[in-house]
Every structure is written in structure tokens, then in C-alpha cells.
Structure 1
Amino acid sequence: MSESNEIADVPRLELEYTIGFNGHIPSGLHVHPDSEHVVYPIGCNIIIEEIKTQKQRHLTGHTNSVSCVAVSKSGRFIASGQMTHMGFTADVIVWDYEKREVYAKFTQHKVKVEALAFSPNEKFLASLGGQDDNSVVVWDLERKEDVCGSPAAMKSAGTVFAIAYANTRDDVFVTGGNGTLRIWKLDLASKKIRATDCNLGQLKRVVKCLQVSQNDDYVYCGTTSGDVLQINMNTNLLTKFGPQKNKYSLGILSMALLKSGEILIGTGNGTVAVLKGGSFAKVKSSSVSGPVTSVTLRGVGHQFFVGTASCQISYFMFSSFEPNLLHTSHADSVTDICFAWEASILFGTSSANDVRIWNAKTGKELLRIAVANMVCNAFTIAHDGRSIVTGWNDGKIRMYTPETGKLMYIINDAHNEGVTAVATTHDSSRIVSGGGEGQVRIWDVATRMMKHALKEHRGAVSSIKVRQNDAECVSASTDGTCIIWDLRRFVRNQIIFANTLFMGVCYNPSETQIITCGTDRQIGYWETFDGSQIRELEASATSSINGMDISSDGKFFVTGSEDKLIKVWLYNEGEVTHIGAGHSGKVTRLRISPDQKHIVSVSNDGAIFKWKCPNVSGQKAT
């Protein structure tokens, strides 16, 4: 059976909620015209979230990362484009907002869809291809077919980044980019679009965002130079630009027009400001963390939302003009995940620069432990709940209090090539750590001294698990070995060899067997008594298995892989019961909650997905 058929035939995991927001997408955050929901992308999904309750609905249909999002004027449609691999076409999906289902799917652009815009009466959708495509296409939404297309810019110009439709006409839209700014007119009779280049005189600009005035007299352009251009749409001439001095650092990346005639901008240095419409002078400003890639108004304009490249969503009241944090998430690859011992309400994740503790029920961030310019490769919460143990790429083990995140102590030079795995014994008296150089080291928590170093691995240690009685542990390494260590005599009990880079290892509850996963795409069952292999399962047709976890009753386990899929397996039968699809990056780690009601998976795009764990006790795959 091919993997595509396997996915089609197996029941899907139910996605409960996501933690994450792809803030790198220009204008990716939108307030729906009903003023009750926000729309934003994460991974392959479009999230529709109720502002008051933060309940989520997920639109799933893309096969790769969403690259752009647009919402129609009435809110009837949502459009999203994706990126794909070189040589392949990228889909545009139009969603029916009320039905929460696909209305139409368009495929023409190569590699990436850069931007989308709906016509004011929702008759047409204009789509802009990325750098490898460089075309603009107009789609008829009623007939669900393309009307016409054209190269987006002259060959002498660079990439086109932005597109915006007129507010009163379905036949006029604007595109802008690197050395190009064009006003397009659709000739429906001849099925052609004709472009007129705007005259900027001696001015050289890279346009990153566009907004058309309410009466279609002007188009306003935000540039990487940190100023705003005003173009007359009737004459195609530059009428003014500014501010002349004190331009905005790192460019203007997002923009919205206010009914008062003022301009709301977001900049690359995190500034959010309101400018006068005539002089472009600053009226008021504030700042947020990271480049502001989205600004979107709510309702009549008393409130607006801001999305940043640091993957945070904030909302502002125009009266106070101060940011109020709504959502936070990791902006880099999530390296590890751990539930508090026997507590399904809390889990933590690690990434570059920080470790975060989350409320598993609401998805709210409860605690953030930040270490600038460092990557936390692994972490765990001690079984007694008194400390958070973290391993970092600078070779240090840092321990923090779980309530406040205060640093308790540091073990310096714990490993020469970074700490890559950590675990604690069940009595919380010792830490077992693995490093990039391949050593497994045992540390006494009370004295913070190393008790022993175990030196048999020749590659980075990827995972460590400790037995319930604290007498043994097993370590998996990228050198193709798994070693079961005696933690009393500090010697090797058993060693397992395989032609793979081991990425994960788990004891079954009886601790008579271990299961392993790695780059050979196989799941191995091994006896702990003598290290012999009992069974081998093919877990993926094409991709490395990066993470695994086993249920507390031992009846099932879960795997996450580079093909972005989560799979639930029956332990004894070795069969897949459910598959979860939605991540746009490779799954790096995943865990089953102690109460076995949820599965939480993390990926290298910074996303955290919480799935409803199916009741698979005694169930066989269909």
C-alpha cells in the first residue's frame, strides 16, 4: 500500500487547537468583517478564532505552508495560497466562510503564491505568483475558473510583493514590488489585463505593502526605505511621499487606512504608528516585539490588531495606543516537549532563546524562561515538580523554579558540544544528560557534581529514558547505537546496533522491551534482557521518524516524522489506527498526556498542535 493510500484509508486525528501564528507572512493576520473573529495561518492550516472566547475552527486543505491570506469585503470568502517545492505548482484555495469548507481551488502559479486580493463585489480574485513565477492571474469566483493572466512586471524589474484591489471597481487593481508599481485594468470582453506603470520620477523604491483609498483616488505604498508613497490612480503619477526626514527603520511592512484619512503603519523595527494623510507626520506611535508584518482594523476603527515576525498577536485601542498581548508562540523550531509528571494540565516546550510553560487546557502561556542567543535542545520537568531541567547548546545545564522561572543553578561545561538530551531519575536526586560528543553523564542534584561519565557513544545522544526503579537508563544516539546503562554500577548492560541514526527511544510500561525510531524510517522492538530485536515496522515510506512516545498503559504509541504526519500505533498489533495531518514543518517531538486524552506535537516551524487522543484500547486498525 502506498503512503498516500494509507493516509486516505486511516481515520484522522481530531485537532483541538493550535498554538502558533506564522508572523512571517505579509498581511497574514485579518479581522473578519463580522468583527468577532480573527483569521490567520499556521502551518498548512487557516485558523478562524473567536476573539472573545478564543475558540478555534481549522481550515485544512493545503499540502504545504500557507504563504498568503486574504478576506473578501463582506467576509463571505477567505482565500489562501501556499508555497511548494521547486518545479511544482502552488494551490490557491477559496474557502466558504459560513460553511467552513473549500469553495474553489485554483492551480496555476509555480512554487509560491505571493499575495491575494478580492475585488470589492467579490466577483474576482487576483493572485500574485512568487519570484519563480512572476505572474498575476485573475480568477472568476462565480465560474471558478481563470479569466486571464500576465507577467507581473517587466523583466528588468525585480520581485513583485504586494497586490491590492480598488474599492469601487472590480476591474482595477494595483501591484508593487522591487522597482515596479503598476495599475492594472481588466478587459473582460477580450479576457486580458493591461498594466500601466506608475511614474515615480527619479525615485527608486521597493514596495512591500499597498492600500487603496476609499474612493479609489490614490494608492498608498509602504516601502523598505521607510517612507510612504502616494500615487494618483487617475494620472499614475507620484503626488507626494514622506516623511522626508526620520524615515522608519527597516522599512514599512504593513499598512491600513483610517476613515479619518490617517494612515496606520507597522515597521520592520517594531514601531506601530499613525501618520497624517497629507504630510505623513507622526501623530502617535508605540512599539512591539519584532517586525510588524500585519496591521488590521476591527469594526469601525476603535481597535486594531497587530501581527509580528516574532509570532505574536497584540491588539491596540486607539485611545490608549498601547499593545495588549493576545497570543504568543515560538518563532523558531521547537526542539522538545514535556508534560509535568502525572499532570496533564501543564506542558512545556523548548526552542531557540527560551523555554515556555503552557496551560494544556487553554493553550495560554504561563511562564517563559529566556536565555538570549542560545538554543535549548532538551528539557524535562523533575518528577517532584520542584525544578525545570534544561540543556543548552552552550554545553550548560540550567535548572529553574517552575513557579517563577527563577534560575536555581547552572552546571557549567556539562558537555563539550552542547547538551542534547536530559532526564531525571524518579526520585529527582540525579540528572542524566547526553551531549553532542556522545557522552552520557550522571549528576548529583544536591551537590551539582558529576558522579560518572559513560563514554561509548560516538555520536550525539538524541534521547534518554530512565527506568521506574532508577536502576537503569537507555540512551539513543545518532551513531546507530542504543545502550542500556546500569545506573548503580555505571557500566553497560546491553547495546543495540542498527543502520540508522536513532532519534527516539521508549520503555514499554513493563520495561521488558524498548522501542526505537530513527532515520531508517523503521520502528524497532527490542528485548531489554539481551538486546535482541523482536519486531521491525515500517513507519514511513519516505521520511525519518524524529519523535515517539508510548502511553502509560502500553497499549499504543505515537510517532512524528519529517513527512509532517502524526501516527497512532497499537503496540501489540503494530498497526496504525489514526493519522494526524496539519503540520507544515517536520515534526520534531510529540508527547501523550499522562491521562491519555491528548497528544501534543511540535514542529520545526514553531507550531504546537494539540490533538484529541482516540480511544484505541483494544482497537484494531480499519
Structure 2
Amino acid sequence: MVKAYLRYEPRLVFGVIVSVESNISYDSSGKHLLAGALDSVAVWDIKKGICSSSLSPSIGSSQSIAVTSIASSPSSSSSSSVSSGHADGSIRLWDLSRGTCEATLNGHKSAVTALRHNHLGSLLASGSKDCDIILWDVIAETGMFRLRGHRDQVTDLVFLDSAKKLVSCSKDKFVRVWDLEMQHCIQIVSGHHSEIWSLDVDPNERYLVTGSADPELRFYLIRKEAEDVDNSSKWELLKHYGEIRRQGKERIATVRFSKSGSLLACQEAGRTVEIFRVLDASIARSKAKRRVRRKKEKLVTQGVEKGNENTTTNAESVPEPDVLVSDVFKLLQVLRASKKICSIAFCPTITTKDAFGTLSLSLNNNILETYSIEEGKVEKKHTVELQGHRSDIRSVTLSSDNSLLLSTSHNAIKVWNPNTGVCIRTIESGYGLCCSFAPADRYALVGTKTGTLEIIDVGSGTRSEVIEAHSAAIRSIMPIPDENGSAGSSFVTGSADHDVKFWEYQIRRNPDTDSKQLTVKNVKTLKMNDDVLVISISPEGKYIAVALLDCTTSVQVFFLDSLKFFLSLYGHKLPVLCMDISSDGDLIVTGSADKNLKIWGLDFGDCHKSLFAHSDSVMDVKFVQNTHYMFSVGKDRLIKYWDADKFELLLTLEGHHAEVWCLTISTHGGFFITGSHDRSIRRWDRTDEPFFLEEEREKRLQEMFESDLETNENKYAPREELPEEGSVAVPGKKTQETITAMDMIIDALDTAEAELKRIDEYNADKRNGKAGQLHPNLLMRGLSPADYVLKAVSTVRTNDLEQTLLSLPYSDALKIISYLKGWVQNPDKVELVCKITTVLLQTHHSQLTTTPAARPVLTVLKDILHAKVKAYKDTIGFNLAAMDHLKELMSMRSDAPFRDAKSKLMEIRRELSKRSEKSIEGKRRKKKQKNSCANQSVPS
């Protein structure tokens, strides 16, 4: 009988506040801050400091692709629309209110680096490392066209002129202006001496600013269409305005205007943000006049001192001043953060009366900070830091009842609820390399990099004692089991100072508080010849295994009671980094930096099997209790599930985005938890879904075969030349989904063709009097051939439809064209038929014009489609006019009770204004008469 195993699947991801690769963005309401958290988008309520929701792909998805860019719709009508770009080039459209993914757009070949919505939220522009820009229709969930011209990664985008123009910048040192109606580049702006990393435009579309590694910020004036210009500069939308020298020396990472346009933030690729105040036109003009006045006074002073009359004359003839860029942009504050800043975002709403704006920062140590910008100061308002570690997680361990999880990092210990992912306690500590719960789970032990042993009071969240246990880093802590197999009253520590120390728990009374506290006492020490990397104790407490840095001795096994030498496990080529002993004490598994797992028998020390486990160092390995199943993790970011009896790989679990350092398994193997360099802690649960070893092996072979095919295809494919200047291409790309959809359509066409032949044969037999009974085709589920093909085409996603039709052979495209005449009669499918017709005609125009059989169908389609489209266009226009009329009627009805009061109020205001004008005029007359009388009384 074939043995079945139970599958493990991801359930929880916690510990990541914001990832370094992604930017941050506010939603249009300003209530939530959106931050990329590895493969999901975290929605943070900054004031409360909680994650209200997480936009992530479905649980159990095969791949976890990192989020690289986020953009929220600025329109209040579509405030729940959020777009996220990913490292594989895909873009996901999310509904923020429901937390669901509405569509996935595939078009880029590499990571998405820039996303920007237009002001209505109906269009989305995306830039990528593949140097292309794609314009997407968010409502139709499809790509419109691809713009090519940049020679390096596109770094930022912005819409102009009511989304008729698009401005892009790139690492190729150029800014390009695109006319989206003509789909062409109309202006190329040069002048930068280094890569351009960001650009932005103020809300009134007067100024555009670019940031690069140059020491200056460059500003451009945006020309309006109504302005009169000569023919030579007719297509120039951007005019160079000037530069402002920055204070910092690092390159610019992001430049952003606030929603009101009164602030400009310039974030460097370091710890500083320079904040500029954007002055009003009147203030800027008066500032320019003061500057010119000072220049006049200086010239006059110089003329008087030198006795030069020409200098004084020149000072009087200074023309009307021009407003310079330094008159408009004034440095307000320089914000300095505690760590390197990854991204910035302005809140669209102002929370306090005195504040100019609110700026949020994401730092590279997994922290979100929010600052209030006021006149003369920048004040920190909110910080989100408790929900994650500042650096990678080095060790994790579960309590005896699996209700608490302890994790260590470089400066803190955190206690989590493993069922919900909520952080319960945060305790300052040293650099924790290993940890373990003490009996009863009230206290925990942490071994640090400096050699100290820290005793943590889990209930109060404090360090009760710090013991100088070793003179070098403590690499491993292992409790000594009692007779029942649970943690006993002693434990062992292994250190890089060549010592293995045995400790006993003791209770001492604190004289200050008169309370009892846990402490430990060293009872004996085992001296080794090299650094101790890891130790393990057999469940019955008979043996202790010690792995050393010296590869020649590898792992040494001693009797625990007498510390006499028992076995030496030699075979690894590099040091053993992890090991574990099975619950029955029969097997010991070791993982090494040589990427191998070795399974040994603990009775004679013979190597049962050597497995090439990971493509990098194996960092941790653990047996599932009461079984010979084991999990291993490594620097290759993978988690692998093994059968130590059959020496077979059962499952490979992907999810982490960096090296996996540690894992811990629950008491009964129902779940396990892993900690990684990406600062995330992931929980994996055992499900009731069985799987078979042969099926998993075949699946892995198929994936390897497909990856090899893709690699070879890319290897031997003709090298792409640089795109033509300002060229336009198809927005989508061929994916596995489009190939599957193409196969489905071809199968549907073949099935329908066979069914049509069967019906024709039946009709012919019926005319000849040989007809029997026509049985329905069960595969078509009661549909006619045309409806069956239509259903197959309708199931293709809108974004994949064009690429699917492009992949079809010409013969199958002709079959689809023959069905279009019947499909267009369905009122709900007119738009779909128009799309199919347009794509097929553009793709196969030359072949269709030379195919006699296609001409009658195209002639009929021409008349039918034009009439249908015109009819539905008129219907939509009529409905829109009716909706406007209904809206007007509703507004009139809602205003009816207040109309009379409003008219009376207006009459009162007019009467009061007339009276005030009369009184003012009377006062003026009296004053004039008084002045005239006074003049007459004065003697000549």
C-alpha cells in the first residue's frame, strides 16, 4: 500500500512592519498608511499603531513575490483602489475596503519600479527595470499600450494636463515627456549629470522638480496649452526654471509635493529629508522685489563710496524683477532620522491647525515614523515599532504548551502569541543567538553574542538577571530532560570559548522586594578542543552530542552522566551548524555548511544516508516528535520536509525572502515556525490534505523541466535590440495563464467543429431517411457549438485576452472569426466581439486580405458591428443624460424646504449691503463739506 503524508501550508506571517524594497503611500482619506511587507501590502492605522488589514495573495499560493512599488488612487470616489507592483513584473489591483485582489496585470518582464495613478484613478502608468512604460486602463483591467525609449530602469512617473501627458525619468539621465493621445515622446529633457531617481509635480501643475545624484535640485516650469509660444518650442512642455543647491551630499531617493502644494520634501539616500516651503506668487514677487531693492541699495552705496555717478544711474535703471526659483522655494527644515530612510509619503489631510503637513517615513530597521511639520520645527507624532524586530531573527522557541513564542534579535527579545501573531512583550537584551524556556514557562533563557546568559521574566517582561556565563558567544542552549522526557531542572550551554557548561536552576529571594527569583548555578564543565557550535541531548537523557568548528572531529557524542567519550561522527567537509536527535533516540541528523544532511544511527555511529539538502548552508534541522520526519532550513530561503526512514524529500516550502536562520516545531507536530533574515516569522500548519510521494516527485520534475525549457529558450532566443526611439508596443506578455487559455480555446474550437460535423452528418442521414437519434454531447454541457466556444473565450481574463489571441494559429483565428457574426447578436458580448475583431484584424491583416473565404464574413461584420456599436453608444449617452436629469431632480427636491429661507436670507443681505453703502456715502459727504468749510475759513 502506498503511504500518504499530510501536507503543510503557510498560515501566518508576522514581524514585518515595512520592507526595504518597497515604498509607502497614504490612501486618499489619509486614515491609513500603505506599506510593502515582503509579499503583501500592510494597511497601518498610524494613530492606533495597529495593522488594520493586510493585502496578500491567497493562502497556499505557490509563490510569494515581493512588493516593490505601491500607489493609491488619489480620487475620493475610488479611495479604496490600491495598486501594487511586484518583483516578477506583475501588478495587482486591490479593493482596500474588501481587502480583495480585483485583477492581476502582467506586462513587464522584470520588477516594477514606479506606479502612478491619474487624478481620477481611471488610468495607471507603470515603469519597470525592463526600461518600458505601460499605460493601463484600471476600469477595464487591461493594458492600453507600451511606451519604449528609455535606455535604463524607469524610476518615476507623473501625469500632466488632465492625463493627456506623461512625464517619466530614468537612470539613463533623461526626462521624457509623452503625449498619450499620439502615443509618442514629444520632448527629451537633458542636463542631468547622473541618474535621475525621482520627480514630482505640484498640485497646480506649475512646477516640476527632479532629484538625482547631482548636488542640485532641478526645477522646470510647465507650459500651459493656452500660452503663446513660437513654433520652435511648440512641443516643449517643460522649460528649465533653475536649481537649488542641496545641503546633503547623498543622492536623492524621492521628491514629493504635499497635496496642498505648500511643501516639498526631498529625501536623500541616507538619514535626512530636506523640507522646502513653496511660497505663494505674491510672497515670491515681494521677495524678488526685496532682493532687487537690496541690489539697488548696494549699487548706490558703492557709487557713493567711489564717487561714480554712472553706478548710481545704473542702480536707478534696474528693470522689473523676475521671480527666481530661490524666491519660490525656501528651505524650511532638515529632518534627521535615527536610521537610513527608505521611503517618504505626505498625508493628504492636515491633522492640526498649526501644521503645514504630515510626513511619514519608513526606515530600514523595520520602523514607520510620522512627523508633524510646523513653522520652525518638525515634531515626531507617531511611531510603529513594537510589531517587529529591528534586524533579522536569530532564534525562535515555543513554550511547552505551544501558547507562547520567543524570538531573539540583535537588541531585543519578543514574546508572541503564535496563534494570532500579536506581539505580547518586548524586552531589551543583548545580541541573542539562542533561547529556551525554563520549566513552567514563566522564565526564559537567552544566550548572547558576548557570552552572557540572560534570565527573562516572561510575565513581567523584564530581565531578572544577567550572568557572565562564558567568555565568548553562546551558540546553543539545551535543556536536560527528566525521567518523563520533559524539561528538567538543569540545562547545558555550548560556547565559542571551547566550553560546554552544565547548569542547575535555583530559587533565590530578592532582599529589596522580598520576592523569589530564578537563578542558575554552574555545576560542571566539559572542556573541548575547539569552538562549540551546537549541542543536542537525547530524549532519555543518556547521550550529549557536541558539534565543533573543527571539521576533523565533526560531532562527538558523550555519556551525559559521566561525560565519557562514546562516539565520533565524522563525514562532513565543513562544520556542522545544526543537529537533532529523534524522540526514540535511534537517529541523529546533522546539517552542515557543506549543504548536506547526514542521518546517523546513534547506537553504532554509522551514517545511514547523506542527502544533498540545500543549495547553501543548512542552518537548522528538527525532528517532529514521535516520528522520523524532519524539517530543515537553509540560506537558500527554502524549508524542506524529509522522511528519515526512506531518505526521501517530501515537500519543499517557499515563502521567505532571505536566509532562514532557525525553526521550532510544536509539541505534537501540528505546526512549526521559522525565523528569517527578512525579519519575518512564519507559521506553517499541518492540514488534513494528504499527498503521495510519487505525485510530489513528478511535480518537482515537471517544474524542473519547465524551468530548464524557459532557461534554454531565453538562452538561445535572439538578443533583443534597443527599442526604436519613442516606439509603441503591445502592453501584455506571454505567461503560463495565456498559454493555458490558448489551449482551452483550441480544445473548444476542435470540440465545436467535431460537433458541427456530427450534426451535419445527422441532418444528411435524416434527409436520406437513415436518421437515428441524435444524442447530446456531454462535454458541451447542453450548449450549442457557438455558445460553447464563446464560453471558453469569455473565461479568459481581460488582461490576458490580447496575448491569448496573438498566440492562436491563423487557422484557429479563422474559426473564431466565423463565429463572430452570431456572437454579436448577444447584447452583453458586443464589447468582447469588438476586442476580438480588432486584435485578429491587426494581427492577421495580410493573410485575411488574401483569403477569399474570409472576405464575406468580414463584409458582414463591418456592417453589423458599426450598427451595434452605434446603437449601444446612443443607449449609453441616453442613459447618462437621464442620470444627469434624475440627479438634478433629486437635488431640487432636497433643496425645496430651504429655498424660501435661502431667498429671504439673500434679500436681507442685499438690503443690509445697500444700507451700509448709503451710510458710508453719507459719511463721505459730511467729511467733504467739513473740509470745504475749513478751507474757506482760512485767511488768504
Distance 1:38 1:523, change over 3 A: farther
Distance 1:196 1:576, change over 3 A: same
Provide the secondary structure at the position in 2 that maps to 1:174. strand
Q: Larger radius of gyration, structure 1 or 2?
A: 2
Distance 1:562 1:413, change over 3 A: closer
Asked if the contact 1:549/1:558 (under 8 Å) is kept, the reply is: yes
Asked if the contact 1:255/1:294 (under 8 Å) is kept, the reply is: no
Asked if the contact 1:183/1:233 (under 8 Å) is kept, the reply is: no
The equivalent of 2:9 in structure 1 is: 13
Give the distance between the partners of 1:168 and 1:553, measured in 2 at CA. Answer: 67
Give the distance between the partners of 2:239 and 2:467, measured in 1 at CA. Answer: 62
The equivalent of 1:529 in structure 2 is: 603
Asked if the contact 1:263/1:275 (under 8 Å) is kept, the reply is: yes
The equivalent of 2:343 in structure 1 is: 294
Is residue 168 from structure 1 mapped to residue 162 from structure 2 by the alignment?
Answer: yes
Percent identity among equivalent residues?
A: 14
Task: From 24, 27, 31, give the equivalent of 1:29.
Answer: 24
Cα distance, 1:183 vs structure 2: 3.9
Asked if the contact 2:18/2:366 (under 8 Å) is kept, the reply is: yes
Asked if the contact 1:252/1:266 (under 8 Å) is kept, the reply is: yes
The equivalent of 2:433 in structure 1 is: 377
Distance 1:597 1:432, change over 3 A: same
Distance 1:196 1:378, change over 3 A: same
Alignment of 1:232-247 (within 5 A): 232-234=221-223, 236-237=238-239, 239=241, 247=247
Give the distance between the partners of 1:467 and 1:309, measured in 2 at CA. Answer: 41
Cα distance, 1:92 vs structure 2: 1.0
Provide the secondary structure at the position in 2 that maps to 1:564. coil
Task: From 416, 419, 434, give the equivalent of 1:358.
Answer: 416
Q: Which amino acid aligns with 2:601?
A: E
Alignment of 1:222-371 (within 5 A): 230-234=219-223, 236-237=238-239, 239=241, 247=247, 253-263=253-263, 265=265, 267=267, 275-278=276-279, 280=329, 289-297=338-346, 300-302=349-351, 305-314=360-369, 322-325=381-384, 328-340=387-399, 342-370=400-428
Distance 1:209 1:218, change over 3 A: same
Is residue 612 from structure 1 mapped to residue 716 from structure 2 by the alignment?
Answer: no
The equivalent of 1:592 in structure 2 is: 665
Is residue 149 from structure 1 mapped to residue 148 from structure 2 by the alignment?
Answer: yes
Matched pairs, number: 577
Cα distance, 1:186 vs structure 2: 4.1
Distance 1:291 1:571, change over 3 A: same
Cα distance, 1:322 vs structure 2: 0.7
Listed one character per residue, the Cα deviations across residues 241-261 of structure 1 (whole Å, up to 9, x for unaligned) are 66x79x468676445433332
Provide the secondary structure at the position in 2 that maps to 1:276. strand
Distance 1:322 1:208, change over 3 A: farther
Alignment of 1:54-73 (within 5 A): 54-59=52-57, 65-71=66-72, 73=74
Distance 1:23 1:232, change over 3 A: farther
Structure having the larger proportion of residues in strand: 1
The equivalent of 2:105 in structure 1 is: 104
Asked if the contact 1:289/1:310 (under 8 Å) is kept, the reply is: no
Is residue 466 from structure 1 mapped to residue 463 from structure 2 by the alignment?
Answer: no
Alignment of 1:539-554 (within 5 A): 539-540=613-614, 542-554=615-627
Return the TM-score normalized by structure 1.
0.77
Cα distance, 1:310 vs structure 2: 1.3
Provide the secondary structure at the position in 1 that maps to 2:493. strand
Give the distance between the partners of 1:21 and 1:471, measured in 2 at CA. Answer: 44
Is residue 210 from structure 1 mapped to residue 270 from structure 2 by the alignment?
Answer: no
Give the distance between the partners of 2:548 and 2:162, measured in 1 at CA. Answer: 62
Listed one character per residue, the Cα deviations across residues 352-371 of structure 1 (whole Å, up to 9, x for unaligned) are 34333333234333444445
Give the distance between the partners of 2:607 and 2:653, measured in 1 at CA. Answer: 28
**Greater RCO, 1 or 2 (C-alpha within 8 Å, sep 6+):** 1
Listed one character per residue, the Cα deviations across residues 81-116 of structure 1 (whole Å, up to 9, x for unaligned) are 42xxxxxxxx3111132452762223445xx65444
Is residue 582 from structure 1 mapped to residue 619 from structure 2 by the alignment?
Answer: no
Task: From 423, 433, 436, give the equivalent of 2:493.
Answer: 433
Q: Which runs of 5+ in 2 are unaligned?
A: 224-236, 280-327, 352-357, 482-486, 506-518, 696-940
Q: Which runs of 5+ in 1 are unaligned?
A: 1-8, 83-90, 154-158
Give the distance between the partners of 1:423 and 1:163, measured in 2 at CA. Answer: 55
Which one is further off, 378-387 or 32-41? Answer: 32-41
Provide the secondary structure at the position in 1 that maps to 2:627. coil
Task: From 580, 592, 600, give the equivalent of 1:518.
Answer: 592
Which one is further off, 311-320 or 162-171? Answer: 311-320
C-alpha RMSD of the superposition:
4.2
Alignment of 1:71-82 (within 5 A): 71=72, 73=74, 74=78, 76=81, 78-82=83-87
Give the distance between the partners of 2:401 and 2:361, measured in 1 at CA. Answer: 34
Give the distance between the partners of 1:211 and 1:231, measured in 2 at CA. Answer: 11
Alignment of 1:380-419 (within 5 A): 380-385=436-441, 387-402=443-458, 403-406=460-463, 408-411=465-468, 413-415=470-472, 418-419=473-474
Asked if the contact 1:162/1:176 (under 8 Å) is kept, the reply is: yes
Listed one character per residue, the Cα deviations across residues 136-167 of structure 1 (whole Å, up to 9, x for unaligned) are 433555654862322357xxxxx875444447
Give the distance between the partners of 2:135 and 2:391, measured in 1 at CA. Answer: 35
Which one is further off, 464-473 or 494-503? Answer: 464-473
Give the distance between the partners of 1:395 and 1:53, measured in 2 at CA. Answer: 36
Give the distance between the partners of 2:562 and 2:6, measured in 1 at CA. Answer: 46
Distance 1:538 1:293, change over 3 A: closer
Return the TM-score normalized by structure 2.
0.53
